[in-house]
Amino acid sequence: MGKHAVQFSKKKRTKYRFQKLKMCKKCNRYSILKDENCPTCGAAFVGIESLVKSIFKNRLFTEAIWILIIVSIGIVFAPTVNTLYYSLIAGVIFCISYVILTFIFMKSEYFNQLKKMLRVDLKKISAGLQFDSELANEDVREGRLGQAYEKLREIGDLISKDKMKLRQVKVLNDIMLRSDMELELEQLIPTVYDKDFVKYALEVLKINRSMITKKCLAYFIQNRESIVMDFGLDSLISVAGTALRMKLYIQEFHEFIEEFLDYFPKERVLRLCSILQSNPEVDWGSLGEKTKHLVAMKYHYDPDFKQFVS
Ligand SMILES: [Zn+2]
């Protein structure tokens, strides 16, 4: 089966992951997907922040009513005109201080309310995400891979289990990846070796080497034996080649780079030489010596290496 050509929409970013949660008040169901309306009943979703704000407002309103009732009781039952004034003044002072204090602690109160809501509704939220996840499955079955991935990507923001990551990876492996796509890699690294993930990572490497981060490199090194078995030594060589992008990576992974030094294409070796030469104060371990040796043996007469041959 050929790969699907799809277009991804831009991912909406929020400061906190839970901020994307929303609820259909009619179905009483949470969702993390980007739809504005509930796919079941068509009602507009209400964002979790507006939900919390309305609960918070209701609480303030109820408390204000109680204060008013207490003040009114004081006024009604005041035996003398003086006591009536006293209770009125006390009531006004109390109201003002209540409003001021509420404003001061509004933000923390709001977050408390939010935390409480997330805790109380945890089961409901996970049921909602399960429903979202079934919608994604349906997309996969119907061949709408772009939409399926977008759904899984949103759900994956809240559920970071391996199973969720690998569902995304499997869909991505059936899609034709392009460098203009907003792809994720580090977020999808599973806790154990997974062939599908490595297959995806190697595809990503082909279109955008800069996505191979420190965490990815560590994953490849950790699972190197299985990777060589499944994908051959060449895959590991190209991964090691990406570590030559940055001085920091070379420092951190110098042993790994050293192992594949003889296999790197010329431009990678040139890059390595120039980084090593411009940072003579850094301790490169035996990588420095080995690189010098390689240049002396293999590139001695190459004019491009003239500046590195002593
Ligand atoms: Zn609904």
Distance 52 CA to ligand 1 centre (A): 19
Is 90 exceeded by the pLDDT of residue 310?
no
Q: What is the pLDDT of residue 170?
A: 97
Q: Which of 25, 178, 52, 43 is nearest to 120 (CA)?
A: 52
Distance 33 CA to ligand 1 centre (A): 13
Distance 44 CA to ligand 1 centre (A): 8
Strands 22-24 and 46-47, bridge-based pairing: antiparallel
Residue with tokens 């203009």: 180
Distance 148 CA to ligand 1 centre (A): 20
Angstrom CA distances, 21 to 62, 172, 260, stand at 27, 24, 46
Q: What is the pLDDT of residue 248?
A: 92
Distance 74 CA to ligand 1 centre (A): 47
**CA 71 to chain centroid:** 51
* pLDDT, average across residues 274-296: 90
Distance 159 CA to ligand 1 centre (A): 22
Q: What is the pLDDT of residue 1?
A: 60
Q: What is the pLDDT of residue 282?
A: 87
Q: Would you give the DSSP letter of residue 175?
A: B
Q: What is the pLDDT of residue 189?
A: 97
The whole-chain average pLDDT of the chain stands at 91
Question: 149, 175 in Cβ contact below 8 A?
Answer: yes
Residue with tokens 């919390």: 52
Distance 18 CA to ligand 1 centre (A): 20
Q: Write the single-letter amino acid at 213.
A: T
Is 80 exceeded by the pLDDT of residue 38?
yes
Distance 15 CA to ligand 1 centre (A): 26
Distance 28 CA to ligand 1 centre (A): 7
Report the distance separating Cα 22 and Cα 49, nearest Å: 8
What are the residues whose beta carbons fall under 8 Å from the beta carbon of 155, sequence distance 6 or more? 32, 33, 129, 132, 133, 136, 164
Distance 169 CA to ligand 1 centre (A): 30
* pLDDT, average across residues 294-306: 89
Residue with tokens 């349906």: 138
pLDDT in tens, 81-117: 888 888 888 888 888 888 788 878 878 888 888 888 8
Is 70 exceeded by the pLDDT of residue 228?
yes
Report the distance separating Cα 273 and Cα 281, nearest Å: 14
Report the distance separating Cα 176 and Cα 4, nearest Å: 6
Distance 46 CA to ligand 1 centre (A): 11
pLDDT in tens, 41-56: 999 999 998 988 888 8
105 C-beta neighbours (distance < 10 Å), count: 11
* pLDDT, average across residues 231-258: 93
What are the residues whose beta carbons fall under 8 Å from the beta carbon of 285, sequence distance 6 or more? 254, 255, 258
Report the distance separating Cα 107 and Cα 101, nearest Å: 11
Distance 41 CA to ligand 1 centre (A): 4
**Would you say the pTM of this structure is higher than 0.75?**
yes
Distance 142 CA to ligand 1 centre (A): 23
Distance 96 CA to ligand 1 centre (A): 41
Distance 23 CA to ligand 1 centre (A): 8
- The SS3 of residue 30 is strand
Question: 175, 146 in Cβ contact below 8 A?
Answer: yes
Is 70 exceeded by the pLDDT of residue 233?
yes
Distance 137 CA to ligand 1 centre (A): 19
Distance 128 CA to ligand 1 centre (A): 11
pLDDT in tens, 116-169: 888 999 999 999 999 999 999 999 999 999 999 999 999 999 998 999 999 999
Angstrom CA distances, 18 to 14, 39, 112, 125, 151, stand at 8, 20, 14, 10, 15
Is 70 exceeded by the pLDDT of residue 66?
yes
Is 80 exceeded by the pLDDT of residue 244?
yes
Domain boundaries defined on the chain? 1-165, 218-310
Question: 275, 292 in Cβ contact below 8 A?
Answer: no
Question: 221, 212 in Cβ contact below 8 A?
Answer: no
Distance 133 CA to ligand 1 centre (A): 16
What are the residues whose beta carbons fall under 8 Å from the beta carbon of 274, sequence distance 6 or more? 308
Provide the strand spans (E) within 44-154: 46-47
Distance 122 CA to ligand 1 centre (A): 18
